[in-house]
């Protein structure tokens, strides 16, 4: 369990309100439907006007295929794709941008994790190796590694998949237990930056010391990129995979960043075909927008909104809030939820609660949230927040929840 270095509190809402109001006004879907509150940004984010305008401009002034033309529009598209690779590396704080590392575009985090599992991992593992993966995180960060194991077994290469250990109380990883698990045959570790159900920052900066300098680490940053500052210089990982569409870019966008320093270089296999040029244009614009808005302030805002919600539910007998319990007390020094709060009503099914909230214009996610095999077995309601959400939306939500 980790203390916050700079603790985000509900007071951040007062301090940041003018900044936030200006940013919220840039989301046409949000301002166009004031009776609705979109509370499902962990699934996908809404898009600011700058991103929408960029896509329209691209399609109306330069649309062509990339990497295969001699004329202006084709060359502009090729330049866009290469520029966006460099933009991704810069946004992530790649310490030596693209000198040795690489950026590969995908349709989202799932495809990114599968690309690492399919195109890199099998070339790296030898018979008898072990890999460590997180079975209580999103299944997109569990199933691809099991598929890789089964594929290798068909070729006579047997590897063992071990479970990344968690601290029971906080749901954070347990670096001491991880260190005990590591052997000279440990060849790969997969982890998650921010948990998509518990909203916990998983403190992944502690993992390198636990596994030592040799083991490649793949980080699922689907819930952190676009939500908080991400700095590859500080995170000594080898792959970072994220969803562009959860970070203000169009649906069908994402990327894998590969350090290419431990094991073979990452070369996505197969025929690559036409890239998602519109999506790539939107990703460049989204990263520009996020950098200008300030990932640290976005984090403070979303964390403060989440704290307003957990403070409001604190002591409400009817609700069980999932994840670290110690962090729920309004005066707790333990890190609070990163814009994601998931709960159950003790008598009303989560599915029914989802419908009730929808009837009040409150759009939440009610289901099992694709958790891996060691995750929650029952459905729950997830509220996930971004910079366009407001304290008033949280109060509206609480007003409904607390009457049930
Ligand atoms: N990993 C985490 C932690 C997620 O929350 C999600 C999406 O919900 C994914 C992976 C899958 O992302 P995508 O929808 O981009 O495939």
Query: In this model, does residue 374 exceed pLDDT 90?
Result: no
We find that the CATH architecture of domain 52-293 is 3-Layer(aba) Sandwich (3.40)
Query: In this model, does residue 9 exceed pLDDT 80?
Result: no
Closest CA to 41 of 365, 404, 393: 365
pLDDT at site 385? 98
Closest CA to 143 of 175, 111, 165, 120: 111
Q: What is the pTM of this model?
A: 0.97
Of 3.40.30.10, 3.30.43.10, 3.90.1150.10, 3.40.50.720, the CATH number of 12-47+294-401 is 3.90.1150.10
Helix (H, G, I), strand (E, B) or coil at 117: helix
pLDDT at site 331? 86
Considering only residues 160 and 98, tell me which one the structure prediction assigns the higher pLDDT: 160
Residue 273: CA count within 13 A, CB half-sphere: 3
Mean pLDDT of 379-392: 98
pLDDT tens sequence across 19-72: 999 999 999 999 999 999 999 999 999 999 999 999 999 999 999 999 877 899
pLDDT band at 6 (very low <50, low <70, confident <90, very high): low
Query: In this model, does residue 2 exceed pLDDT 90?
Result: no
Burial 327-343 (b: 16+ CB within 10 A, else e): bbeeebebbbbbbbbbb
> Measured between alpha carbons, how far is 178 from 196 in angstroms, rounded to an integer?
21
Ligand 1 neighbour 108 (Cβ under 6 A)? yes
pLDDT at site 275? 94
> Measured between alpha carbons, how far is 46 from 55 in angstroms, rounded to an integer?
14
Mean per-residue pLDDT of the chain: 95
Every domain of the chain and the residues it spans: 12-47+294-401, 52-293
Q: Tokens 């809030």 appear where?
A: 321
∠ CA 367-321-376, nearest 5°, is 45
Closest residue to atom 4 of ligand 1, CA basis: 222
> Measured between alpha carbons, how far is 62 from 56 in angstroms, rounded to an integer?
10
Ligand 1 neighbour 41 (Cβ under 6 A)? no
CB atoms within 10 A of CB 54: 23
> Measured between alpha carbons, how far is 165 from 359 in angstroms, rounded to an integer?
40
Q: Which helix (H) or strand (E) holds 31?
A: helix 28-31
Burial 223-243 (b: 16+ CB within 10 A, else e): bbbbbbebebeebbbbbbbbb
Ligand 1 neighbour 106 (Cβ under 6 A)? no
Calculate the CA dihedral of residues 325, 327, 330, 331 and round it to 10 degrees: 120
pLDDT band at 271 (very low <50, low <70, confident <90, very high): confident
> Measured between alpha carbons, how far is 402 from 404 in angstroms, rounded to an integer?
6
pLDDT tens sequence across 194-231: 999 999 999 999 999 999 999 999 999 999 999 999 99
The region of weakest confidence among 6-15, 45-54, 61-70, 146-155 is 6-15
CB atoms within 10 A of CB 21: 10
CB atoms within 10 A of CB 17: 13
The CA 243 to ligand 1 mean position distance, Å, reads 7
CB 306 within 8 A of CB 339: yes
What is the rounded end-to-end Cα distance, in angstroms, of the chain? 32
DSSP secondary structure, 326-382, as one string: GGGSTT--B---SSEEEEEESSS-HHHHHHHHHHTTEE-EEE-TTB-TTS-SS-EEE
Query: In this model, does residue 1 exceed pLDDT 70?
Result: no
Q: Among 41, 44, 106, 108, say which to mutate for ligand 1: greatest number of ligand atoms within 8 Å of CB.
A: 108
Ligand 1 neighbour 46 (Cβ under 6 A)? no
CB 190 within 8 A of CB 132: yes
Radius of gyration of the chain (CA): 21
pLDDT tens sequence across 87-112: 999 999 998 888 899 999 999 999 99
Q: Among 44, 105, 109, say which to mutate for ligand 1: greatest number of ligand atoms within 8 Å of CB.
A: 109
Q: What residues does 343 pair with on adjacent strands?
A: 321, 381
Mean pLDDT of 319-324: 96
> Measured between alpha carbons, how far is 383 from 183 in angstroms, rounded to an integer?
39
Closest residue to atom 8 of ligand 1, CA basis: 43
CB 37 within 8 A of CB 361: yes
pLDDT at site 67? 83
Closest CA to 148 of 121, 115, 113: 121
Ligand 1 neighbour 44 (Cβ under 6 A)? no
């Amino acid at each position: 369990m980790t203390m916050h270095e700079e603790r985000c509190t509900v007071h951040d809402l007062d301090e940041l309100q003018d900044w936030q109001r200006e940013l919220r006004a840039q989301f046409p879907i949000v301002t166009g439907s004031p009776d609705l509150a979109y509370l499902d940004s962990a699934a996908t984010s809404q898009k600011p006007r700058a991103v929408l305008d960029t896509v329209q401009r691209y399609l109306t002034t330069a649309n062509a295929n990339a990497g295969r033309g001699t004329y202006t529009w084709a060359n502009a598209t090729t330049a866009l794709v290469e520029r966006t690779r460099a933009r991704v590396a810069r946004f992530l704080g790649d310490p030596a941008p693209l000198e040795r590392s690489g950026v590969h575009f995908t349709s989202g985090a799932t495809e990114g994790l599968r690309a690492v599992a399919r195109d890199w991992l099998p070339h790296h593992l030898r018979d008898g190796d072990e890999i460590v993966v997180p079975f209580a995180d999103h299944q997109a960060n569990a199933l691809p590694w099991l598929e890789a194991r089964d594929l290798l077994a068909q070729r006579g290469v047997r590897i063992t998949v071990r479970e990344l250990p968690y601290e029971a109380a906080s749901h954070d990883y347990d670096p001491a237990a991880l260190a005990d698990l590591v052997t000279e045959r440990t060849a790969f570790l997969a982890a998650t930056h921010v948990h998509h159900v518990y909203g916990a920052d998983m403190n992944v900066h502690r993992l390198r010391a636990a596994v030592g300098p040799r083991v490649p680490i793949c980080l699922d940053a689907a819930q952190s990129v676009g939500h908080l500052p991400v700095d590859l210089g500080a995170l000594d990982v080898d792959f970072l995979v994220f969803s562009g569409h959860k970070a203000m870019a169009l649906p069908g966008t994402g990327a894998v960043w590969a350090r290419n320093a431990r094991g073979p270089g990452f070369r996505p296999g197969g025929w690559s075909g036409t890239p998602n040029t519109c999506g790539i244009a939107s990703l460049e614009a989204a990263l520009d927008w996020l950098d200008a808005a300030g990932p640290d302030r976005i984090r403070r805002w979303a964390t403060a909104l989440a704290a307003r919600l957990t403070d409001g539910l604190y002591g409400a007998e009817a609700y069980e809030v999932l994840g670290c319990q110690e962090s729920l007390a309004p005066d707790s020094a333990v890190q609070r939820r990163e814009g994601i709060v998931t709960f159950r009503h003790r008598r009303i099914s989560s599915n029914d609660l989802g419908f009730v909230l929808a009837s009040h214009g409150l759009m939440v996610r009610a289901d099992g949230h694709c958790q891996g095999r060691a995750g929650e077995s029952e459905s729950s309601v997830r509220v996930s927040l971004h910079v366009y959400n407001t304290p008033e939306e949280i109060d509206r939500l609480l007003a409904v929840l607390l009457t049930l």
